[in-house]
Amino acid sequence: MNVQNVLEAEELNMKGFLDVEIDPSLDLFAEIEKLKKEKNAVILAHYYQEPDIQDIADYVGDSLGLAQKAAATDADIIVFAGVHFMAETAKILNPNKKVLLPDLKAGCSLSDSCPPPLFKAFKDKHPDHIVISYINCSAGIKALSDIICTSSNAQAIVESLPKDQKIIFAPDKNLGGYINKQTGRNMLLWNGACMVHEIFSREKMVKLKERHPHAKIVAHPECEESVLEVADFIGSTTQILKFTETDPCQCFIVATETGILHKMQQTNPGKTFIAAPPDNSCACNDCPHMKRNTLEKVYICMKYELPEVTMVEDLRLAAKKPIQRMLDLSKELNIGG
């Protein structure tokens, strides 16, 4: 490693990205398009990314769609505009491709709520259970799981298993509780949660609905049960988006991360979308991890091909098995993201 490489590695460790100056007159959209062609790179972006990133991406989707795209791409470089566990999933599926994440510190509170050593001890106490893990977890948790799921396919995957199969569901207790309710199962739930989806206030949502009596509340199953109880529709980000496209209602109160509103407004130009109010005074329900990525960081990571997501091979192979099982089951059950 030369001196330049050492300095870069230190900066990535400290900041999560290369903090280099960009000429403010650069047309970043044009430059990123140029880099895509030059490097045969594809940009996969989550719905919770800022609008500029969604607009420059080759594909925008939720976790299932992104994993399916990552598995199918023939690009040499995958730029993953999302959070760390998503880029890790892309790397697990594509060991020979370079996977870049615009900001290595784009983490996830839900993933962090399930540390592998503690989860292993919990799993060891229930040897007769299989483990289904929501994709929002680290590679270490994936390696301890039998099947991965997303909010798009969780219910179908659970229902595909024999009724008497004992199951541990990790890491999201709200999604697990919702699936238990929908399927009549009694899965053991890990006590994890997402800081963004736990923040919505049922009380404020009900008041908002009183002011907009014709609006429908749509909610992600990572929200708390008390919020889901007042929702007119519950589904994954993609399912919520589709619902707003096909339902005749003209106004929706949206209880998930606000990034999705950009796509909703693009696909439904005449309809009104209101972000569901959080239970705090700052009216902010953006995911701080997702929003660490910016258009500038996308450009810098493509130009310098850093930061790159890497993984030891044993861990990758162990984490791949349950992801592959999910992808195969989703194909069998005909579920897309």
Tell me whether residue 107 or residue 307 sits nearer to ligand SF4 (CB atom): 107
228 lines the binding site for ligand SF4 (CB under 6 A) = no
285 lines the binding site for ligand SF4 (CB under 6 A) = no
User: How far is the CA of 308 from the CAs of 21, 51, 88, 99, 143, in angstroms?
Assistant: 20, 23, 10, 6, 21
> Closest Cα to residue 167, out of 191, 187, 151, 141?
187
199 DSSP assignment: -
Return the residue of 49, 68, 109, 293 that touches ligand SF4, per CB under 6 A: 109
Query: Between helices 63-72 and 84-93, what is the axis angle to 10°?
Result: 30
Return the residue of 44, 194, 241, 319 that touches ligand SF4, per CB under 6 A: 194
The annotation status of 301 as a binding-site residue, yes or no, is no
* DSSP three-state, residue 79: strand
The footprint of ligand SF4 on residues 307-336 (CB under 6 A) is none
2-9 CB contacts, 8 Å cutoff, 24+ apart: 8/304, 8/306
The annotation status of 145 as a binding-site residue, yes or no, is no
Return the residue of 215, 290, 301, 329 that touches ligand SF4, per CB under 6 A: 290
Any idea what the Cα angle at residue 276 is, between residues 81 and 335, rounded to 5°? Answer: 50
199 lines the binding site for ligand SF4 (CB under 6 A) = no
- From the CB of 84, what's the least distance to ligand SF4, in Å? 9
Q: Strands, DSSP E only, in 15-159?
A: 41-46, 59-61, 77-81, 98-100, 130-134, 147-149
193 lines the binding site for ligand SF4 (CB under 6 A) = no
- The site for ligand SF4, by CB under 6 A, has a size of 12
User: Per CB under 6 A, which region of 36-44, 145-153, 264-272, 287-295 contacts ligand SF4?
Assistant: 287-295
> Closest Cα to residue 103, out of 269, 289, 245, 235?
289
- From the CB of 110, what's the least distance to ligand SF4, in Å? 4
80 CB-side CA count, 13 A: 32
The annotation status of 223 as a binding-site residue, yes or no, is no
154 lines the binding site for ligand SF4 (CB under 6 A) = no
Return the residue of 136, 150, 237, 294 that touches ligand SF4, per CB under 6 A: 136
196 lines the binding site for ligand SF4 (CB under 6 A) = yes
The annotation status of 136 as a binding-site residue, yes or no, is yes
CB 63 within 8 A of CB 26: no
Return the residue of 83, 92, 227, 300 that touches ligand SF4, per CB under 6 A: 83
User: Per CB under 6 A, which region of 16-24, 150-158, 194-202, 268-276 contacts ligand SF4?
Assistant: 194-202
Return the residue of 289, 292, 297, 320 that touches ligand SF4, per CB under 6 A: 289
- From the CB of 17, what's the least distance to ligand SF4, in Å? 17
> Closest Cα to residue 131, out of 148, 155, 118, 152?
148
Residues that bind ligand SF4 (CB under 6 A): 83, 108-110, 136, 194-196, 257, 287, 289-290
Annotated binding-site residues for iminosuccinate read 46, 63, 134-136, 151, 220-222, 237
Residue ranges of the binding site for [4Fe-4S] cluster: 108, 194, 287
